[in-house]
Amino acid sequence: MGHYLKQDLTTLAAHSDPILSITLTPDDSIIISASYDGLMRLFDLETSQCLKTLTNSTSHYGTATASTNDVLNFPISKVEISPNGQFILSSSLDGKLRLWNYMENKVYKTYQGWEKGKICEKFNCDVKFITKVKNTPLIVSGSDDSGLLIWDVQLKDIVYRSSPEVVGKDAILGVDVYNHGEVLCCCSRDGVITVLDVNEKYVAKDEDEEEDEIDPREGDDETPTLEHPEKSHQAKAPQEKWFLETIHQYKSGLKLFV
C-alpha cells in the first residue's frame, strides 16, 4: 500500500495522562488539547511551543500556569473552539461546562445541568456551538441521563432539553452540527443515531449573520450582572418542544460502551 501520510512533523509532550480531546483554532495556528490530568494546553503548531496551560480548580480558579504539580483537577473530556476563535468550551467530569477566554486566562461562564445537576460525570459527552439561530448563540451537549441539552450562551439558562421520545433514555455521547447548528446529529449509548434540524422559524437568515458571533464578555461569572448591552430587548432562545425536529433515526441494535 502507498504511504498516504508523510513522516511525523513533530511530537508534542503534552500531558501526563491520556488526552481525551483536541481541537484547532479556525486559522489552524494553535492546537488545544484536553486531558484526563484536568489540564488544557495550547500549542503553537509552527514552533511546537506550549503557549499556556489552562486549569480550573478551587485553588487555581480559571488560571494559566506553568507549573501544575500542585494542581488537582477533574478530567477534561471535551474541548471545542468557538467559530470566531476567541473562546474555548470545555466539558469536565465534575459535570460542568466552562467557557474560557483563553487570551485572558479566564473562565467567563460556567454551565450546569438540568435542575442544576451534573451534565457528564460517567461518560465523555460531546459539546458544540450553535450559531445559526436568531437572537443568541447556543451551546449543545450530550449528558449522562438528561438527554440532549441546549444552553443560551449569555444567560447560561437551559433553553431546550430533549424528551426520551426524541433521543431515547440512555446517555448521549456524541454530538455534531452542520451549517453552524442548523442540523444536529447525536448518538446515544444504546446504539441510536438521531438527526434533527432547527425549526425554520428559529434559523438565522444571511442578514442575521452578525448575530452569530460568540461574545459572552458581559455577565461573566465574577460579576452579578447578566444584562446584554445593546440587546436588553432580546428574547430568550426557544424553550418549546418543537425547537428541534427529528429528520432521521438510525438504530444499530448494538449497545455502545456497555
pLDDT in tens, the chain (258 residues): 456 555 556 666 667 778 889 999 999 999 999 988 888 999 998 888 999 999 876 444 444 444 444 445 789 999 999 989 999 999 999 999 999 999 888 899 999 999 889 998 988 889 999 887 777 789 999 999 888 999 999 999 998 888 877 777 889 999 998 887 788 889 889 888 888 887 776 677 665 554 446 565 444 544 322 233 233 233 344 444 446 666 666 665 444 333
Q: Half-sphere exposure (CA, 13 Å, Cβ side) for 154? A: 22
Q: Find the angle CA(245)-CA(246)-CA(247) to the nearest 5 degrees.
A: 115
Predicted pLDDT at 28: 92
Task: Give the C-alpha separation, 203 to 216, whole Å.
Answer: 20
Give the C-alpha distances (Å, rounded to integers) separating 6 from 12, 49, 64, 162.
17, 22, 34, 44
- Cβ–Cβ under 8 Å, residues 142 and 126: yes
Task: Report, in angstroms and rounded to the nearest whole number, the Rg of the chain calculated over CA atoms.
Answer: 19
Q: How far apart are CA 120 and CA 172, in angstroms?
A: 10
**Can you point out the beta strands (E) in 48-111?**
50-55, 63-64, 76-81, 88-92, 96-101, 106-111
Query: Which residue in 162, 163, 192, 187 sits closest to 174, CA to CA?
Result: 187
| pTM, to two decimals | 0.75
